Amino acid sequence: MSVQQTGSGAAGNIPAEEKKKFPLKKRVSHVLEFGFTMLFFGIINLFPFSALHSVAKFFRILLSPFLNSARRRRRAHVSETLRITDEQELKRFVNNNLDNTIRSFFELMQAWKMKKKKFIDKYVEFGEDSLAIAADKEQGVVFAEGHFGNWEIPIPAYASIGFRVFFSAQKLSNPYVDAWTHRTRIGYGGGGPIYQKEAEKFIPLLRRKEPLGLVSDQDAGHDGIFINFLGRMAATHTGPALLAYLGKAKLAVGFCIHQGKGRYKFYSRILYRFKNKSDFASSREAAVELTKLWVGELEKEIRKYPEQYFWVHRRWKTRPPEESKEVA
């Protein structure tokens, strides 16, 4: 339901204070990187949105020699987590997963189209619960989402029916690409980004009964809590759970699943409604129990559509203290 990365300003119009942060050599590198991004943007936008999966498959084959590292990491995670041992099946799975990942990147290149309601109506089907959540204004709502399916679409999809979702964000390292991405995402018509350094805004926003989205399925390091995720303990962010509890809001999950030819099914469901502070003995208990709740829902959906999960993440990098070593 949220995006993790965005920025401020318009592409090509970087404030002077931004320029001071980088030496000349780095700024030149940023400009070249941005120029390549815009060139690639132009190429990808020659294709219709419905054809991007086929385009992704073509690029996966074309760039195959450069994808060995991504393949190895996916193979390691999938073979251990999903217990796929047959070599042919594993190869097919990894290739399909790469196709999904590359397609998601290409869809971001065409994200400017998502501000148009006609586009959303054509490519996004709302589940019944998704519409019901948007209609329920009694409490704020925290949407917990993972890198699964397309995590970009829900913001413009909800905006198309007048439900403006705010989202947690952080800046990209290249200020030119960051500004371009920001301009695209502001164009969705959602509530807009709230940067991590402005986290104090989250709870007041929820108590005003506003919606907030967070993508929170990456490794949380030793600041997180360990939750069983797909059969392995994983360091997990407690942000969505704590915000729902402290912000007196609902906790929901949202998923946007690719159905083929650019079409998506978007559905979300409420997992918890705040009643009062006696719901849990402490905020720590709320963090643990509600995190288990939403992570469990994410796991169920990943097991239904495993090829649409972003397996390249080092999700199990941080190990519990009782384990003697870390594994990727």
Q: Quick one: pLDDT at residue 1? A: 58
Please name the residues in contact with 136: beta carbons below 8 A apart, sequence gap of 6 or more.
250
Secondary element (H or E) of residue 287: helix 283-304
Relative to beta strand 211-215, strand 166-169 is parallel
- Whether 2 and 167 have beta carbons less than 8 Å apart is answered as yes
Stretches where the chain sits below pLDDT 50 are 2-12
Q: Quick one: pLDDT at residue 245? A: 97
Q: Quick one: pLDDT at residue 322? A: 83
Q: Quick one: pLDDT at residue 16? A: 54
Q: Quick one: pLDDT at residue 97? A: 97
The model carries a pTM of 0.88
Q: Quick one: pLDDT at residue 325? A: 54
**Distance (Å, whole) CA 263 – CA 285:** 39
Please name the residues in contact with 216: beta carbons below 8 A apart, sequence gap of 6 or more.
144, 145, 146, 236, 237, 239, 240
Report CA dihedral (153, 156, 161, 165) to the nearest 10 degrees.
Answer: 100
Candidates 137, 156, 142; CA nearest to 264 is: 156
pLDDT, tens only, 278-308: 999 999 999 999 999 999 999 999 999 999 9
**Distance (Å, whole) CA 100 – CA 211:** 28
User: How many helical (H) and strand (E) elements, i.e. helices and strands, does the chain have?
Assistant: 12, 9
**Distance (Å, whole) CA 1 – CA 328:** 27
pLDDT, tens only, 40-59: 999 999 999 999 999 999 99
The b-or-e profile of 262-290 (16+ CB within 10 A means b, else e) is: bebebbbeebbbbeeeeeeeeeeebbbeb
Q: Quick one: pLDDT at residue 13? A: 54
Q: Quick one: pLDDT at residue 8? A: 34
**Distance (Å, whole) CA 288 – CA 267:** 24
- Whether 94 and 308 have beta carbons less than 8 Å apart is answered as no
Q: Quick one: pLDDT at residue 324? A: 54
> Which sign, positive or negative, has the C-alpha torsion 187, 190, 191, 197?
negative
